[in-house]
Structure 1
Amino acid sequence: MLAFINKNLEDIRKMISLFYGPRYNRKELAECFHNWRKSVGRDPIEKDNIIFDGSRSQNSVFSKQWRWVMVQAVLWLIISFKFRFSPVINLMAFFTILNQFINNILIISKDKRQMFNTIITQEILSTKSFSLLLWETLDGLDSENNDSVNIDKMDYAPDCEWTDISLKLVHNKFDKSLPLIQINIGHESSELFHPSLLGLVNSSDIKKQNSSLMILKLFGRHNNFIFDGHNSQKKSIEKKIQALVKTIIIYFGDRDISPIVQNEITGSWDCFINIIDTTDSWYQIEKERDQDINNLLLEWVPLEDELERVDQAAESYKMKGYEW
């Protein structure tokens, strides 16, 4: 019995929280959601708080119907004091107004949640963006001081064109994030070597990959790509790509053209070196992101609990009390 009472009190508290409390704009709600999404634990309590804050912050068109409930209540009080009605009539009037009051609250709550569901669905689907995936994947891979790993100038195969060179990324059984690398030029192949030999590791921890290695994995999946972001993000991505270009030139020597160039018209980044990623690293990243999007949609907008679209005209008619 006590558990039943506590559950009902909690439901009432949640219902009240949809109407009273701080309100946030869409930018603030989106920031809270993405901070939660990128957090390690993804606290379910924080998730519930975001849902309540987001639902409360929506302006439902049905909120305007409160005045009709108030008008009914005032009229009932005036008439009940001025005229003597039987207790049965007064009781019927009371329950009629109470029904309108409860119906109003439920409809507004559903509409607010539905509006927030639309917003959160758009935010979840926005994470499918390739540019956002690239930005979040590269974030934090480089050391804070952004120093590069010192590598020896090799001038490996200086007479070959960039298109004659292939870099093969091979599975490393000791560390999946750091694939072994093999250089292939024509029919000649080098031995497998650790990516640190090419400076493709974090300068503060050689057991961690840096953004240059991740970009190589990206080119192993896509021959070219376009990064859409604001100017500071584009400059940051360009800086990381130029760091990879510098590493390649140090090892293979300079050519008349850069190994990675950006198309001035389309803005697409193209790599002339053939990258063969047998580990399918970037494919796995894309696959994990798609799975995460599906899970987020099920958690935040579950289909079995999805609210039916509210017929605003019909509900407005009922909430004004015309049916009684």
Structure 2
Amino acid sequence: MQFIDQAEVYVHGGDGGDGLVAFRREKYVPAGGPSGGKGGNGGSVILKAVANLQTLLDFRYAHRFQAEHGERGGPKNMTGATGQDLIVEVPCGTMVYNAETDELLGDLVTENQTLCVAAGGRGGLGNSSFLSNHNRAPEISLPGIPGEESRIRLELKLLAEVGIIGLPNAGKSTLISALSAAKPKVADYPFTTLVPNLGVVRKPSGDGAVFADIPGLIEGAHQGAGLGHDFLRHIERTRVLLHVIDITTLNPIEHYHTIQHELMAYGHGLADRPQLVALNKVDAVPADELEVITEELMASSGCDRIFGISAVSRRGLDELLPVIWDILEASKPTEDVMVEPDPFPNLVPPEMAPTIWT
């Protein structure tokens, strides 16, 4: 399956149906009068977040989404049929932007959360709506209002609690395969991983935390070098960063500072995120060399603890994971925090059916 995390599509709400000019003419009804009904409202284009999608691959070939138009009003004051809403499924974690203004329209994070991106038009009034004492036989009606239309840009940011970062060949994919059931491609050459990999790591309590292996971070990643510019956004939602460093390289301390510089240059608060540092492949170096590198890295980075691990032999993972669980528990959002005003009023709670026109 291809990993597509950006897409641009055109959305168009259904047009409202036209009102009807009609008169009631029935036997034994001497004063029938106008009976033209109003047109039906057009359907809306609504995005819905679902958990069974992981990429925006469906939007690679489908670029246009049109909701149904409302039907024309009928005689006997019958209102035209309302156009059906078009529900478009997107992965959880999809951010929706206006493609022309770059305005953020909404962020679909939770499952079944919806966002109306193109409201349907209201149906036009029939001639029965214009009946008055001054005009007993109106012959006018209103056309339906066109539905909203726009181009929107979809950007997927993976929903993961722990982001595994590091230079190519640091052992990130091996680590996530050792911790979870994920089976990413593992090889001894750089840029083996071309797309983010997700894996669920079980906690002692039985529930799981999602780990994301972020590929392609090299020097200059924030400016588009390597693959990092495309995938740095996927660690914006993480609550903990796990920085994996290959201790068998010539200068692991320089590698640490390379990644830290990229995080600071990219911004979005990544440099301030809680971060753990793990020296990988420690079973490939002598113990005294490991101790020296660890002390130098602690002095250079300011970290009070550096973990020595081996993703292949699972050495040190039992000491690393409890610290991650403690950080996640400490950073868990509390329910008694002050509720801020809703920045996205178009977002509809899952339990409420979207109603565009009343």
Larger radius of gyration: 1
Superposition TM-score, scaled by structure 2 size: 0.27
Relative contact order, CA 8 A, sep 6+: which one is greater?
1
Instruction: Looking at secondary structure, tell me which structure has more helix per residue.
Output: 1
Superposition TM-score, scaled by structure 1 size: 0.29
Instruction: Looking at secondary structure, tell me which structure has more strand per residue.
Output: 2
